[in-house]
Amino acid sequence: MSLADDTEERHPTLALDDTVHQRVRLGILAIAREAESVEFAFLKQELGLTDGNLSRHLKVLEDSGLVAVHKGYAGRRPRTWVVLTPAGAQALDRELRALRALVHRLESAGPPPT
């Protein structure tokens, strides 16, 4: 970027990370942030997902170190819990900052929302 660009703000969407921003994964991270751990079945219901779809997105988040997935039992029933990692919390905070900047930019520059 040249010096002449210093007064130009980088577009807020450039601060978004696809791993976090993707709709389903953003939902998973947002819900996981609200509790110490969330059950697979709860995420599935809250976000209207199939087992396969939720598993696929959890794998992306787990591989990126943004959530940890624990398997265990509640009585005799197998359960899967999802926990936001510190890296996941930071990534979600970055996403939030970028979203706030985007919303702010759209509200100040564009026509008012209908």
Binding residues for a copy of itself (CB under 8 A): 11-14, 16, 18, 21-24, 26-27, 30-31, 33-34, 46-48, 89-90, 92-93, 96-97, 99-100, 102-103, 105-107, 109-111, 113-114
Cβ distance to a copy of itself smaller for residue 11 or 76: 11
Cβ closest to a copy of itself, residue 75 vs residue 113: 113
**Closer Cβ to a copy of itself, 72 or 112, answer by number:** 112
Cβ at position 81, least distance to a copy of itself in Å = 18
Q: What is the torsional sign of CA 108, 28, 88, 13?
A: negative
Closest separation between CB of residue 108 and a copy of itself, Å?
10
Which of 18-53 are b and which e, b meaning 16 or more Cβ less than 10 Å from the residue's Cβ?
ebbbbebbbbbbbbbeeeebbebeebbeebebeeee
114: amino acid identity, one letter: T
Listed in order, strand segments (DSSP E) in the chain are 38-39, 67-74, 77-84
